[in-house]
């Protein structure tokens, strides 16, 4: 099935998602914590065509991770993003929608987040009722990512690391309502795996009762100024849930266990050499780095002005003007104007010191104002050019990003459509010989003998699925009765017969059953041979490689078993006509018919049919025990034939019944075994008898 994951995905990596949903076809609508491009990614923004997304990929499962999973998120775009997705589900009547939120609905006090969550859940329920898709809610605890500065704990650690002011205060006895992200993914998988169409609201309780004092002690932050005993404690009111009973789920990893290997190095930058710290500060874009660049440029311009200002070749260059323009271009207009002020003070001081001008001539002679006016005008023009270029560049980058995302999304759609087209072509054409396969399959099943029919059927399925772990069981009164035949020498026994028998209803409706969730003690494929609506025999395919658990093999198996059932029903009609008309003696093959069947077995030359013939000591009248053997399901490999008025029993030594089983069965019913012959010997006996006649 196709699963779309969207919402706040910053707490998950691709590895965790692939591990949690191994058999699902995954699509990501949003951003992951560690994207590796193993899963198809699409951006969650206004440029994404959601209608095209749902129409192209036939998405039938959606998990929306609410922004409330982040303890400090303001949820400004929650309703907008959620409604965008819900508006495009109008044509998805069979959709499963799982909404995973934070615990805010279970806090005692009202908050804006709680009101938003309440509205979001009502919105989802309205769309579910209107467009008839199934909907469930999981009220989770908060998630955490210590390396993400947008996360509550990650932001706190980042501020402590960089020495920033902390606006986070908490009561040390306040419980930390956090859940391990992988545990939440496991619960989501269990809910999807056991999905029904009834609305359900599941809540995760606080099972570990960890306080912030214990949490911050684990992070070596117990000494930080973040605790206040005066703050109230928020209680989480979650009743005892049935998650363990209904879904077999409970949280396994605490946040303290997850932080066992996390090492927070607060002295990382202090351990660096001083010059490396200055170099890092110079390249940074914070306020300290900008002022450091500003004063370095100012110092350089003043040094050059004083040292080279009196030389013939360099005094024509105004280094302060260079400082102003460079500052405005690099650090924008405000810093450029500040540079103009300092350059004005520097030029005035230099002129006064050198005696070329004084304060009276500066203020009363307008021509002396020109250099200072040029400084300020240059700063404003340079800053304007810088800001205009930045605005144009930002606009072009935004347009380029949107176009790139649209082009990438279209490319994804085209690639996936071509891939699906190739898969469908492979499914229809089947490596350009599907029609030949069907014809050969029907030709193999064209036989009046049930035992030959079953061996050919299982042998052909073995060629398709490349496995010998294929068995057939008889069915009595809706339950598995006994193993009849297996291609494997030592077939694996099914685990719980009652659980396997519970799948019969699905087989009666769909024709086959596929173990898509890789459940233990279940075969990979199951089907049945049916007649008049009743299941007579059940076919198991146990071990199948992963590349044969695809749509092509599933549909091919369904088609082949449909054809096999038609052949079986046609073959069974003649057998049951003889039984119902009381002509049970005609179930015994005449010498010519028996000879014909032996020749067909010899011609088949199958390693799975080791024919053995038992010479029986029988009186003139056909014993009721042999009649019962022919009309019962004790063995589908029982054939009785006549050779010169003697009865012979043909059976397959590769079947479930051994020679000892046959001897015991016949002895208990008063039939003795006179001799044992192989296929070639029996054919020679019949040929000799025909030559004599």
The better pLDDT of the pair 258, 290 is held by 258
Helix or strand holding residue 115 (H, E): helix 112-131
Tell me, yes or no, whether 427 lies in a domain: no
Contact criterion met (CB below 8 Å) for 531 and 569:
yes
pLDDT at 98 over 90: yes
Q: Which has more confidence, 82 or 356?
A: 82
What confidence category does residue 270 fall into, taking pLDDT thresholds of 50, 70 and 90?
very low
- Cα–Cα distance between 325 and 386 in angstroms, integer? 10
Lowest pLDDT segment from 103-107, 260-264, 326-330, 550-554: 260-264
Inform me whether the pLDDT recorded for 167 exceeds 80. no
pLDDT at 518 over 70: yes
Say how far residue 309 (Cα) sits from the centre of its chain.
Answer: 71
Strand 525-531 vs strand 534-541: parallel, antiparallel, or unpaired? antiparallel
Q: How many structural domains compose the chain?
A: 4
Q: Within this chain, do residues 116 and 88 fall inside the same structural domain, yes or no?
A: yes
Cα→Cα distances 542→1, 280, 512, 520, Å = 22, 62, 14, 11
Whether residues 21 and 50 share a domain: the answer is yes
pLDDT on residue 433: 47
Question: The domain containing residue 622 runs over which residues?
Answer: 591-692
174 and 202 co-located in one domain: yes
Whether residue 547 sits in one domain with residue 468: yes
Which of 436, 454, 430 is CA-nearest to residue 550? 430
Cβ atoms of residues 621 and 629 within 8 Å: no
pLDDT at 357 exceeding the cut of 80: no
Angle between helices 551-580 and 370-429 (to 10 degrees): 20
Considering the domain architecture, whether residues 370 and 470 belong to the same structural domain is answered as no
Same domain, 233 and 307: no
Helix (H) or strand (E) holding 417: helix 370-429
Instruction: Return the structure tokens found at 684.
Output: 């020679």
pLDDT, mean of residues 239-264: 79
At 6, is the secondary structure helix, strand, or coil? strand
Residue 670 domain flag: yes
pLDDT of residue 431: 44
Give the pLDDT of residue 582. Answer: 44
pLDDT per position as a tens digit, 134-160: 999 999 999 998 888 888 888 888 777
Residues 644-693: tens digit of each pLDDT? 888 888 988 888 888 888 888 888 877 888 899 999 999 998 888 887 76
Q: Residue 458: how many CB atoms within 10 A of its CB?
A: 20
CA–chain centroid gap for 226, Å, is 39
With a CB cutoff of 8 Å and minimum separation 6, the contacts of 475 are: 481, 504, 528, 535, 536, 537, 538
* pLDDT mean across residues, the chain: 80
Does residue 185 carry a pLDDT above 90?
A: yes
DSSP-derived pairing of the beta strands 672-678 and 611-617: antiparallel
* Among 76-80, 350-354, 643-647, the least confident range: 350-354
Whether 259 is in a domain gets the answer: yes
108 and 16 in a common domain: yes
Which tops the pLDDT comparison, 506 or 414? Answer: 506
Residue 355: pLDDT over 80: no
416 assigned to some structural domain = no
Domain boundary at 249, 268, 287, which?
Answer: 268
In a domain, 415, yes or no: no
Mean pLDDT, rounded, for 631-637: 71
User: Above 60 in pLDDT, residue 37?
Assistant: yes
Residue where a domain terminates, one of 342, 372, 398: 398
Both 235 and 295 in a single domain? Answer: no
pLDDT given at position 693:
67
Whether the per-residue pLDDT at 264 is higher than 50: the answer is no
Q: Is residue 404 part of a domain?
A: no
Q: What is the pLDDT of residue 282?
A: 57
Q: CA end-to-end span of the chain, whole Å?
A: 67
Long-range contacts of 665-672 (CB under 8 A, 24+ apart): 665/629, 665/634, 666/614, 666/616, 666/625, 669/623, 669/625, 669/626, 670/623, 670/625, 671/616, 671/617, 671/618, 671/623, 671/625, 671/626, 672/616, 672/617
Most confident range (mean pLDDT) of 117-126, 355-364, 383-392, 642-651 is 117-126
Give the pairing of strands 40-42 and 25-29: parallel
Q: 614 and 513, same structural domain? A: no
Stretch 191-211: mean pLDDT:
90
Query: What is the spatial distance between Cα 62 and Cα 21, in angstroms, rounded to a whole number?
Result: 13
List the single range of 350-359, 570-579, 675-684 with lowest mean pLDDT. Answer: 570-579
Q: Mind listing the pLDDT tens digit for each residue in 583-601? A: 445 568 888 888 998 999 9
**In a shared domain, residues 369 and 478:** no
User: How large is the C-alpha radius of gyration of the chain?
Assistant: 41
Q: What confidence score (pLDDT) does residue 661 get?
A: 87
Buried b (16+ CB within 10 A) or exposed e, 517-551: eeeeebbbbbbbbbbeeebbbbbbbbebeeebbee
**Residue position matching structure tokens 């205009």:** 388
Q: Give the confidence band of 183 by pLDDT, cuts at 50, 70, 90.
A: very high
CATH number at residue 634: 3.30.70
429: confidence class by pLDDT, cuts 50, 70, 90: very low
Give the model's pLDDT for residue 269. 43
Assign 303 a pLDDT band (cuts: 50, 70, 90): confident
Tens of pLDDT along 468-501?
999 998 888 878 888 888 988 777 666 556 666 6
**CA 452, 457, 462, 464 torsion: positive or negative?**
positive
Q: Are 352 and 359 in contact (CB under 8 A)?
A: yes
Q: Tell me which long-range contacts 248-252 makes (C-beta under 8 A, separation of at least 24).
A: 248/190, 249/186, 249/187, 249/190, 250/207, 251/179, 251/180, 251/183, 251/204, 251/207, 251/208, 252/180, 252/183
Confidence of residue 272 (pLDDT cuts 50, 70, 90): low
- pLDDT reported for residue 430: 46
The pLDDT assigned to 104 comes to 92
């Amino acid at each position: 099935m196709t699963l779309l994951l969207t919402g706040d995905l910053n707490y998950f990596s691709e590895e965790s998602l692939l591990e949690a949903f191994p058999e699902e076809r995954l699509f990501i609508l949003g951003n992951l914590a560690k994207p590796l491009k193993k899963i198809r990614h699409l951006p969650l923004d206004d440029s994404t065509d959601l209608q095209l997304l749902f129409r192209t990929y036939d998405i039938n499962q959606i998990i929306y991770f609410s922004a409330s999973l982040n303890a400090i998120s303001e949820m400004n775009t929650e309703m907008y993003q959620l409604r965008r997705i819900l508006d495009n589900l109008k044509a998805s009547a069979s959709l499963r929608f799982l909404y995973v939120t934070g615990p805010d609905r279970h806090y005692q006090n009202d908050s804006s987040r709680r009101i938003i969550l309440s509205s979001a859940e009502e919105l989802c329920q309205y769309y579910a009722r209107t467009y008839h898709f199934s909907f469930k809610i999981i009220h989770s605890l908060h998630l955490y990512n210590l390396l993400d500065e947008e996360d509550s704990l990650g932001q706190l650690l980042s501020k402590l690391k960089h020495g920033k002011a902390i606006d986070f205060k908490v009561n040390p006895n306040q419980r930390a309502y956090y859940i391990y992200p992988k545990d939440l993914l496991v619960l989501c998988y269990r809910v999807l795996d056991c999905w029904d169409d009834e609305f359900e609201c599941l809540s995760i309780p606080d099972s570990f009762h960890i306080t912030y004092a214990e949490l911050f002690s684990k992070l070596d932050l117990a000494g930080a100024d973040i605790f206040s005993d005066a703050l109230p404690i928020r209680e989480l009111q979650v009743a005892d849930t049935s998650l363990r009973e209904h879904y077999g789920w409970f949280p396994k990893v605490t946040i303290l266990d997850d932080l066992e290997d996390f090492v927070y190095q607060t002295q990382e930058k202090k351990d660096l050499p001083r010059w490396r710290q200055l170099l890092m500060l110079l390249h940074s874009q914070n306020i300290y780095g900008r002022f450091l660049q500003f004063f370095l440029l100012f110092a350089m311009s003043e040094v050059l002005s004083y040292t080279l200002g009196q030389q013939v070749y360099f005094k024509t260059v105004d280094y302060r003007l260079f400082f102003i323009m460079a500052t405005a271009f690099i650090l924008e207009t405000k810093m450029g104007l500040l540079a103009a002020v300092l350059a004005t003070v520097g030029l005035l001081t230099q002129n006064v010191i050198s005696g070329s001008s004084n304060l009276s001539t500066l203020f009363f002679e307008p021509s002396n104002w020109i250099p200072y006016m040029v400084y300020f005008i240059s700063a404003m023009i340079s800053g304007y050019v810088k800001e205009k270029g930045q605005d144009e560049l930002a606009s072009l980058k935004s347009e380029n990003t949107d176009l790139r995302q649209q082009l990438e999304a279209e490319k994804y759609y085209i690639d996936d459509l071509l891939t699906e087209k190739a898969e469908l072509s492979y499914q229809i054409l089947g490596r350009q010989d599907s029609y030949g396969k069907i014809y050969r399959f029907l030709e193999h099943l064209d036989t009046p003998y049930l035992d030959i029919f079953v061996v050919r059927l299982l042998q052909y399925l073995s060629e398709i699925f490349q496995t010998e772990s294929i068995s057939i069981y008889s069915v009595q009164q809706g339950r598995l009765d006994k193993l009849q035949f297996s291609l494997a020498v030592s077939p694996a026994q099914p685990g719980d017969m009652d659980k396997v028998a519970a799948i019969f209803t699905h087989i009666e409706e769909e024709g086959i059953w596929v173990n898509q969730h890789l459940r233990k003690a279940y075969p990979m494929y199951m089907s049945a041979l049916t007649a008049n609506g009743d299941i007579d025999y059940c076919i198991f395919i146990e071990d199948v490689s992963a590349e044969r658990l695809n749509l092509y093999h599933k549909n091919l198996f369904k088609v082949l078993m449909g054809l096999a059932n038609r052949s079986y029903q046609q073959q069974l009609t003649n057998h049951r006509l003889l039984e119902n008309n009381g002509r049970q003696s005609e179930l015994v093959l005449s010498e010519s018919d028996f000879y014909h069947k032996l020749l067909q077995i010899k011609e088949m030359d199958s390693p799975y049919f080791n024919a053995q013939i038992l010479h029986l000591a029988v009186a003139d009248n056909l014993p009721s025990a042999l009649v019962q053997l022919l009309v019962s399901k004790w063995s589908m490999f029982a054939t009785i034939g006549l050779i010169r008025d003697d009865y012979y029993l043909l059976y397959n030594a590769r079947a479930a019944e051994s020679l000892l089983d046959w001897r015991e069965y016949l002895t208990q019913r008063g039939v003795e075994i006179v001799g044992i012959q192989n296929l070639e010997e029996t054919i020679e006996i019949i040929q000799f008898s025909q030559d004599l006649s």
